[in-house]
């Protein structure tokens, strides 16, 4: 059986096809301690010994585009040569953070070639103090943020000069969409509007009576499935009502964008962020969202723009992997849509509002609803699904993406050198000028902002605003004792 893309994976291809400004790859810049940079040949040879655990990295799409009646499949890439996916770059002097950020912005503003396996790696030389970096780019249809961290664990070492133990090959054990499982539910097409009506019409013909009878008998045999279907239906209704009746506010960060990118980073001690959480209550993700809200408030005020009273709305990806799916590629994510209280000037009240909003959405099962929407659209043919995909990433639904990914819990190494810092990259959909990715590693949390340079020429204001928001929360929580201002850095 052909290994076809699933609905959510295909969504990221379709978003690119719909708008040239959307680049749907994720990635990272990993900076290593001072040591000789490996050659391209050495990196390629080392990767070649490790990719057996990640067979999809040797595969390409059967068709470079989506559309028609079926999605592309993953097929073996003829004559695959890992060396063709590894290149080299050198920074101009003095090779500091500014030069690396400028190079990375240009690099991540370039799309992957869909005729090849959808990943690449660059060895970056010329960093100050003898350091070097690896920059990776992987298409979102291949893997999500958490999955990329799991895959990275296969490609790096846990000790200097020592390879990690071999791991089992990646498999696709993705559960079937809800509506394909016994007891799966269906919804009236009117809740999805005209696009949903068009998507569901072909599915109704010839199976309505059989489907109703089958579901009725199944619910008699398995009443718990009816409860699950009701829960998912209610959660899906919440997502749809939010989109149709309570649209995300208009904002200057939601404008037409181009294909270029610019990056900025804020690095904070992880102990400091945990100290804020412990001192003020809530979760670590609440600290991330509240700090981002503080930065976005500063950005809007700096533009003379009144922060919306209802808050900006962030799409927050939620990992739904099981423990035994750590090496499964593809996307295992759902989404929360969380309001960021950017209109609140007081940082303590802003934090408490943020924590309350996150708690409310999690308890309401909103992530279940967004997953159910993906499952429902999976039944639409690709030519129609692309319309639904764009609606799910439209500015009506959210203003920006903020993702918080736990990184490796221990130091990682490559060619004997320890990784000092990791900058994660989240892609930008059309008319979304800003995305924020946060990754914890080596005792620090790195906030990496990906932005369109034309729509966000004042990126430094957002960067400094996030740093200042973290400082204010740390002071309120009494968390400055383990890093404080000296441990915080914005670049």
Mind listing the pLDDT tens digit for each residue in 120-166? 999 999 999 999 999 999 998 887 644 455 556 667 888 887 554 44
The yes-or-no verdict on residue 224 having pLDDT over 60 is no
pLDDT at 247 (0 to 100): 81
- For residue 373, what pLDDT is reported? 53
Sign of CA dihedral 296, 350, 488, 301: positive
Region for 126 from its dihedrals, namely left if φ exceeds 0, alpha if ψ lies in -120 to 50, beta otherwise: left
Q: The tokens of 197 are what?
A: 């009506």
CA–CA separation, 455 vs 344, rounded Å? 24
Q: What is the mean pLDDT of residues 330-358?
A: 86
421, 30 contact by CB (below 8 A):
yes
Distance of alpha carbon 479 from alpha carbon 473, whole angstroms: 8
Residues near 46 by Cβ (< 8 Å), separated by ≥ 6?
Answer: 38, 415
- For residues 95-117, give the mean pLDDT: 96
* Mean pLDDT calculated for residue range 188-213: 33
Residues contacting 246, CB < 8 A, separation 6+: none
Per-domain boundaries in the chain: 3-155
Query: Could you tell me which residue, 343 or 229, shows the higher pLDDT?
Result: 343
Residue closest to 382 by CA, chosen among 14, 1, 9? 14
Share of the chain above pLDDT 70, in %: 68
- The conformation of residue 157, written as its DSSP 8-state character, comes to B
18-61: per-residue pLDDT in tens?
888 999 999 999 999 999 999 999 999 999 988 888 888 999 99
Does residue 192 or residue 268 have the better pLDDT? 268
Residue 486: the pLDDT is 43
Is 60 exceeded by the pLDDT of residue 372?
no
pLDDT (average), residues 355-361: 87
The fold for domain 3-155 equals Chloramphenicol Acetyltransferase (3.30.559)
CA geometry: angle at 38 spanning 32 and 39, to 5°?
Answer: 145
What pLDDT score does 17 carry?
85
Distance, in Å, from the CA atom of 143 to the CA atom of 148, rounded to the nearest integer, reads 6
Q: How far is CA 345 from the centre of its chain?
A: 29
Please report the pLDDT score of residue 375 as a whole number. 54
Q: How many CA atoms lie less than 13 Å away from 99 in the CB half-sphere? A: 15
Q: Please report, in angstroms and rounded to a whole number, the separation of the first and last CA atoms in the chain.
A: 49
CA distance 292 to 298: 10
């Amino acid at each position: 059986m052909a290994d076809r893309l699933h609905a959510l994976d295909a969504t990221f291809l379709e978003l690119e096809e719909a708008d040239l400004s959307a680049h749907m790859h994720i990635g990272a810049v990993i900076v290593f301690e001072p040591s000789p940079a490996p050659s391209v040949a050495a990196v390629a040879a080392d990767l070649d010994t490790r990719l057996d655990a990640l067979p999809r990295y040797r595969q390409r799409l059967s068709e470079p585009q989506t559309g028609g009646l079926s999605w592309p499949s993953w097929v073996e890439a003829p004559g695959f040569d890992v060396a063709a996916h590894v290149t080299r770059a050198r920074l101009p002097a003095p090779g500091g953070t500014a030069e690396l950020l400028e190079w990375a912005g240009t690099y991540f503003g370039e799309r992957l070639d869909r005729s090849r396996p959808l990943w690449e790696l660059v060895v970056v030389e010329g960093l100050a103090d003898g350091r070097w970096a690896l920059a990776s780019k992987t298409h979102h249809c291949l893997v999500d943020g958490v999955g990329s961290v799991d895959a990275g664990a296969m490609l790096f070492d846990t000790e200097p000069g020592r390879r990690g133990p071999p791991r089992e090959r990646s498999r696709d054990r993705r559960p079937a969409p809800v509506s394909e499982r016994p007891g799966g539910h269906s919804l009236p097409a009117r809740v999805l509007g005209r696009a949903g009506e068009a998507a569901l019409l072909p599915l109704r013909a010839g199976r309505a009576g059989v489907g109703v009878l089958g579901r009725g008998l199944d619910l008699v045999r398995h009443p718990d499935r009816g409860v699950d279907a009701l829960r998912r239906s209610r959660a899906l209704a919440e997502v749809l009502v939010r989109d149709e009746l309570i649209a995300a506010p208009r904002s200057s960060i939601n404008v037409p964008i181009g294909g270029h990118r610019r990056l900025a980073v804020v690095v904070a001690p992880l102990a400091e962020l945990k100290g804020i959480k412990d001192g003020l209550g809530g979760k670590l993700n609440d600290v991330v969202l509240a700090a981002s809200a503080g930065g976005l408030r500063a950005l809007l005020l700096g533009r003379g723009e009144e922060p919306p009273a209802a808050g900006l709305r962030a799409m927050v990806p939620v990992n739904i992997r099981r423990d035994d799916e750590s090496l499964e590629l593809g996307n295992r994510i759902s989404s929360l849509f969380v309001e960021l209280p950017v209109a609140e000037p007081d940082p303590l009240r802003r934090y408490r509002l943020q924590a309350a909003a996150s708690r409310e959405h999690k308890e309401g099962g909103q992530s279940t609803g967004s997953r159910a929407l993906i499952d429902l659209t999976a039944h639409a043919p690709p030519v129609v699904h692309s319309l639904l995909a764009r609606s799910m990433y439209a500015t009506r639904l959210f203003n920006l993406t903020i993702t918080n990914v736990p990184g490796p819990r221990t130091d990682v190494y490559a060619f004997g050198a320890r990784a000092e810092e990791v900058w994660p990259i989240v892609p930008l959909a059309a008319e979304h000028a800003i995305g924020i990715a946060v990754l914890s590693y080596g005792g620090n949390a790195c906030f990496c902002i990906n932005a369109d340079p034309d729509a966000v020429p004042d990126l430094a204001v957002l960067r400094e605003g996030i740093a200042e928001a973290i400082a204010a929360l740390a002071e309120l929580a009494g968390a400055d004792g383990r890093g404080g201002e000296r441990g915080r850095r914005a670049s």
